[in-house]
Structure 1
Amino acid sequence: MLVTTATPFLTEETDPHCLPAAAAAGLLAHAPWRRFASVGDSLSAGTGDPSPGYAGLGWPDRVADVLRRVHPDLAYLNTAEIGATTSRTLLSQMDRLVEFGPDLVHVPCGANDLFRRDPDHTLIEAELARLFEAAAGTGAQLTTFTLGRAFVVPRYPDWTDRVRRVNDIVRGLAAEYGAVLVDMWDHPVNDRPDLLSADGIHFAAAGQAVLATEIVKGLARLLDAEGARP
């Protein structure tokens, strides 16, 4: 007898790596943040294709929705631009961020800096450090994430090494600036066949939902560590 094992069809309600919005808001019930901003590239924008069974929202909009359940007067700014490098983010988005006056900011992890024939990781680290410093200079709590291993660009044979190196840079900067780090490199969601959008780069809506949950969990751990929850 032939026995086959089918991959179960997940929805947002059954996905073990997703939290319902109400449960996520419960984790952040004592969160102080009322001005949330996301800067950077398409990953910071939450770009991605739809997924059956999941709401068609990018992860930043999802996080904003959770925070708005805690603070209905939440102010939310997303200046992220598709294709933005770290240097372009510094040049074109930081003035708007400072003017906004955030208390919670998501910063990018340098993905577009890798789309070069020979990326200069020393320069990438210096520019990311400038970005983290500028964002931290607003006085806001920072969040960031590393790139997942499912993110592959076949035209660059050394792509995996590029990602590993930039992830190490981001981990170091997150520690230095006290950022909430969501480490997606080896997250189980990387093994899902339907994780990525048609472009093979961006997380589809299912992945966006997981990212939002991981950001919320990271913020909740921060609140617990700071004694902000009873």
Structure 2
Amino acid sequence: MKSVSYLRYVAVGDSQTEGLMDGDEASGYRGWADRLAGKLAADAGPDFRYANLAVRGHLAAAIRAGQTEAALALKPDLVTVLAGMNDLIRPGCDADAVAADLDAMLAAFAASGATVVTFTLPDVGAISPLAVRFRPRVMAFNDRVRAMAGRHGTVLVDTWGLPFLTDPRIWNADRLHASPVGHARIAAAVADALDLPGSDGSWADPLPPLPVRITSAPAWRRAGAEVMWAGTFLGPWVWRRIRGRSSGDGRTAKRPELLPFS
């Protein structure tokens, strides 16, 4: 394990990094970045500081424009960057522009001397059958992320194709955001990628088997679940797109300043 202690951690991204579905609006969202910050704080002691600039609903261009300079101004020694999924699941997405925005962020953070962590995106087609048409786009984007990580010396958390990610317990009912279990797994994956004390590869282990009544559900019940999901989550998402609205409209970062973790 590395003996490096990170003292100034800044998280950059969208709703996953903000921590949606690991908590709620009333109590506040925790999320994988907060969980990772807790681990870093325990290792580093009272000098540790943490900021989370992520805002739900933000596309890669908005993350680049609104969070890059703010993050650099905080002079972090560790930056995590998770971006792109909000773009790639939209019809007409310009994947080249998304990749360029992510590449620019990684380049800027790497040039600052910070340790930078980024991520490939999960197999959305394995998570939701209705999203299978986006799979080739995500696969191609992930290839570019791997190349960027190599080019900029970025620490890469590559989860594409890992079987545990298709387990419904990893995801919230909306299938877009991680569940508390999923957020814990992401935090553990980053800790492992950074070779932090006490970390290991167990984050990628399969969860205990699901009950047979779930895995052997008849086709009609699975189809009904898809219809319910589409009406509950997909429909409102599409309606926001039609109106040009975002879940992040009017929102700001939850932790815009480097503060002690608590």
TM-score bracket relative to the smaller structure:
0.7 to 0.9
1:6 corresponding residue in structure 2:
none
Q: Which amino acid aligns with 2:33?
A: P
CA distance in structure 2 between the partners assigned to 1:153 and 1:135 by the alignment = 33
- Give the structure-1-normalised TM-score: 0.75
CA distance in 1, matches of 2:194, 2:100: 26
Select which of 69, 77, 81 maps to 1:103. Answer: 77
Distance 1:177 1:47 in 2: 29
2: CA distance, partners of 1:65 / 1:104: 14
Select 2:152's aligned residue among 173, 177, 182. Answer: 177
2:17 maps to 1:44: yes
Higher percent of residues as helix? 2
Inter-partner Cα distance in structure 1 for 2:44 and 2:4:
9
1:84 to 58, 61, 76: 58
2:35 equivalent in structure 1: 62
- Provide the secondary structure at the position in 2 that maps to 1:106: strand
How do 1:21-36 and structure 2 match up within 5 A?
Answer: 27=1, 30-36=3-9
| Matched residue, 1:220 | 195
CA contact (8 A) 2:18 2:31 kept: yes
Residue 172 of structure 2 is aligned to residue 210 of structure 1: no
Offset at 1:145? Answer: 1.4
Paired residues of 2:59 and 2:83 also in contact (CA < 8 A): no
In structure 2, the CA distance between the partners of 1:194 and 1:156, relative to structure 1 (3 Å rule), is: closer
Structure 2 distance, partners of 1:134, 1:153, is 34
In the TM superposition, residue 109 of structure 1 has moved relative to its aligned partner by 3.5
Question: Is structure 2 residue 165 aligned with structure 1 residue 190?
Answer: yes
Contact 1:49 1:198 in 2 (8 A): no
What is the CA–CA distance in structure 1 between the aligned matches of 2:165 and 2:85, rounded to whole Å?
A: 17
In structure 2, how many angstroms separate the alpha carbons of the residues matched to 1:177 and 1:44? 21
What is aligned with 1:4? none
The alpha carbon displacement at 1:99 in A equals 1.4
Give 3-state SS (helix, strand or coil) of 1:105's partner: strand
- Provide the residue aligned with 2:44 in structure 1: 71
Q: C-alpha offsets along residues 72-103 of structure 1, whole Å, 9 cap, x if unaligned?
A: 22110100000111110111112221111000
- Report the Cα offset of residue 153 of structure 1: 6.0
Shift of 1:66: 0.8
Per-residue deviation, 1:41: 0.8
Amino acid at match of 2:43: V
**Contact map agreement 1:31 1:70 (CA 8 A) in 2:** no
- Counterpart amino acid of 1:43? Q
**Contact in 1 for aligned 2:22/2:31 (Cα 8 Å):** no
The answer as to whether partners of 1:109 and 1:166 remain within 8 angstroms in 2 is: no
5+ residue gaps, structure 2: 24-28, 197-262
In structure 2, distance between residues paired with 1:156 and 1:210: 23
Deviation of 1:150 (Å): 4.8
Amino acid aligned to 2:163: P
| Alignment-mate amino acid for residue 71 of structure 1 | A
Aligned pair 1:165/2:136, yes or no? no
Q: Which runs of 5+ in 1 are unaligned?
A: 1-26, 51-55, 222-230
Percent of aligned pairs with the same residue? 33
Instruction: State the 4+ residue runs in structure 1 displaced beyond 3 angstroms.
Output: 150-157
Kindly indicate whether the alpha-carbon contact (under 8 Å) linking 2:80 and 2:116 is maintained by their aligned counterparts in 1. yes
Aligned-partner residue type, residue 103 of structure 2: A
